[in-house]
Amino acid sequence: MPSGAKALCTSNLDAPSIKKPGDNFNTILYDDGAGAKTGVGFQPDLVWVKSRGSDYEPELTDSVRGVTKALSTSAQDIESTDANGLTAFSTDGFTVGIDTNYSDTTGSGMAAWNWKADGSTTVTNDTGSIESEVSANTTAGFSIVTWDGTASAGTIGHGLTQIPDLIISKGRTGSADSWGTRWVPLGNKLLSLNTTAQPATSTNYWNDTDPTASVWSVGSDGKTNVSGDMVAYLFHSVEGYSKVGSYVGNGNADGAFIYTGFRPSYVICRNATLVASWMQYDATRSPYNILDARFMPNTVDAEGSADSFDFLSNGFKNRTSNANFNADASTYVYVAFAKYPFKYANAR
């Protein structure tokens, strides 16, 4: 054995930069109606909620736009103000009102996915040609950005220290338009979060320009830069904590293994070749393999049951030939967040 070499075992792996992924992302469940929800483990800056038992809209609220400001992933509607929606952020969670989109008690109640940025205090970023307000968690590779849309090509500072792998943008005011997402594996194509449409190409989306470690580019399309208020959520992969990537399906129940470098707690994926729905899974609603409790965030549908993946100590594996997850020769994009880094992960 060469001098200085270590035995091949997980205990000898380098320590990840984020030892406790739950300090930056966490899923909680609740079924007690309106009121304070705790157990997140940090003060969340982005909260995505969905009723498990009813066909109610999935709603996003963030600390930059502010409480009561609602956007639905299943619709192209502009931002609404909901005094009975998410009404406060706290050090360990958030508070919701009586709107059943946030406090449904039917079936299994509610699911909430929570991300940490940099708190409700934002900084002005004038790195790009369009000034923005940013709350960035550079350690976890996540930022929330708002700006005054110009409906013309420009660049926007995102506050991260690396090139974003995933950009999710939405017009808040002005003309209603779909959500726009940009995935590094697809280049400058656009997938709409609220539709089943195949990836689209237009200079008016991302100005045919790749993002950099400081800015990303937008065009004149309403999905990326409407004439009105805009918001974007940006992510880059962080070893041992998050992974934005792609895989190719094989159409077999013994599907592809997708390496992430950690045991996932959450995966959202999409067939980027065919017309298809988005698929959303987490280990909190499905604590055992095979995961089967799924949401389709482009719809209002209640939680359904569809066998999909095994979550493993260093990635996830397809356990179905369903085209939403594993059609032969289809390309899939996904983002995953960790339960444990591989160094500390055990089998489920």
Which tens digit of pLDDT belongs to each residue from 146-202? 999 999 999 999 999 999 999 999 999 999 999 999 999 999 999 999 999 999 999
Share of the chain above pLDDT 90, in %: 88
Residues in the chain: 348
- For 41, 265, 278, the CA distances from 295, given in Å and listed in that order, are 24, 15, 8
- pLDDT, tens digit, 9 for 90 and up, residues 307-339: 899 999 999 999 999 999 999 999 999 999 999
Q: Report the amino acid identity of residue 314.
A: N
Structure tokens given for 143: 């930022």
Give CA–CA dist 167/242, Å, rounded: 14
Mean pLDDT, range 112-138, rounded to an integer: 95
CB 107 within 8 A of CB 54: yes
- Judged against a pLDDT cut of 70, whether residue 340 lies above it is answered with no
H or E element: which one contains 101? helix 100-103
Identify the pLDDT of residue 9.
43
CB 291 within 8 A of CB 216: no
Pairing of strands 257-259, 315-318: antiparallel
Strand, coil or helix: 148: strand
Domains and CATH numbers, the chain: 21-115 (no CATH), 123-235 (2.60.40), 242-344 (no CATH)
Q: Report the amino acid identity of residue 112.
A: A
Identify the pLDDT of residue 3.
62
Give CA–CA dist 211/166, Å, rounded: 10
Q: How many CB atoms lie within 10 A of CB 108?
A: 17
Structure tokens given for 24: 């930056």
Q: Which residue has the higher pLDDT, 124 or 17?
A: 124
Identify the pLDDT of residue 8.
42
Largest CA distance in the chain: 66
Phi and psi at 319, nearest 5°, equal -125, 30
Phi and psi at 186, nearest 5°, equal -100, 0
Q: Output the CA torsion 169→286→274→211 (10° steps).
A: 30
Identify the pLDDT of residue 330.
97
- pLDDT, tens digit, 9 for 90 and up, residues 26-45: 999 999 999 999 999 999 99
Give CA–CA dist 85/88, Å, rounded: 9
Per-residue pLDDT band for 342 (boundaries 50, 70, 90) equals very low
Identify the pLDDT of residue 2.
60
Strand, coil or helix: 47: strand
Strand, coil or helix: 217: strand
CB 246 within 8 A of CB 332: yes
Assessment of whether the complete model's pTM goes beyond 0.85? yes
